Amino acid sequence: MNRIYLDNAATTTLDPVVLDAMMPYLTTNFGNPSSIYSYGRESRLAIENARKAVARILNAHPAEIFFTSGGTESSNTAITASVRDLGCKHIISSPIEHHATLHTVEHLKHTGEAELSYVKIQPDGHVDMAHLEQLLSESKVKCLITLMHANNEVGNMIDIHAVGELAKKYNAIFHSDTVQTVGHFPFDLRNTYVHFITGAGHKFHGPKGVGMLYINENIKITPFIQGGSQERNMRAGTENLYGIVGFARALQLATDNYEKDSAYIKSLKMYMKEQLEKTVADVSFNGDVNGRSLYTVLNVSFPKTEKSEMILFNLDINNICASGGSACTSGADAGSHVIRAFAANPNRMAVRFSFSKINTKEEIDLAVAKLQELI
């Protein structure tokens, strides 16, 4: 049986067209972008062309785009700079953020650099906007709002414009972890009130180990990583040349094919939901599946039994790749902090299935049949 890969929110396969774009910079065009001779200048031009392409797609200025090693570095940079450089002494986040954000804000609280508040999560997994405004209105110091655009486990999306308007109203800095949405949704940063957003190439069929950080041109921060003068003195270290070229090419492909690919991927998600409802008893879904949600993610809730507790292990044995975890901790499975925040039912097991443009209905049928057998 061929492997059925349904964990695209974790990483996606590299598109062959992206690999083709990267190959010259893995082989002949290998010059250091900081070198002044022609080999170096060719590499520098490739990076700046990639920066312009990313900026154009996101409707930002090229000077606002910085290339990094991925979403974790980007979020660490933005959050830390907001506290240390921009005067934010109160961080408002949520308990369902990615650990790249959660661990960073907890560290800054632990070191005494900022106080930390968590906005409430509603029963459907959405952020409580009224509570967010309450936290902002009651704060006596400048706030950083750090809320992810789309949750990587259940797919729920914030209204980024509504959060931006609250940030503007209360003079707060706004960082959004957009790793699950850059490359999957159109962005118009010129008309979005946000100070930082992040991206990671491997979430939209680009290479691993390369990401981006958007820094709004109206704010000035100091480098997170010290060293050389790369990325206009903002991010030291020799640039990931072929990664950056691949990031830009993958983002361009994703943007060009957005309408077609997003409709197709959403159809796979809804098809799997319908088939599971028909074939698996007492199945339900975590998050706002039919509402404001990622079209790539379906988080399925199964009744906990001896069989379902081993579901991920048994799927793996059957060459089906998925991820997940219940609200509670058991053995090596630490459970999901996201599920625990709003759907903490110890009698349920959660499994995340996430889809890409290369998945097929036939794969969904095989996966559902196997789930019916395993559950």
Consecutive H or E run containing 92:
strand 90-93
The burial of 3, by beta-carbon neighbours within 10 Å (0-12 exposed, 13-18 middle, 19 or more buried), is given as exposed
For residue 321, the SS3 value is strand
Q: Which two tokens stand for residue 120?
A: 């409430």
> Length of the chain in residues, anyone?
375
| Residue with tokens 């929110």, as numbered in its chain | 9
Q: 29: how many CB neighbours lie within 10 A of its CB? A: 16
Q: Return the active site residues.
A: 328
The Cα–Cα gap between 7 and 355 comes to 7
Q: Which residues on adjacent β-strands are paired with residue 293?
A: 156
Strand 348-354 relative to strand 323-324, pairing = antiparallel
Cα 280 to chain centroid distance, Å, stands at 30
Burial class (CB in 10 A: 0-12, 13-18, 19+), 347: exposed
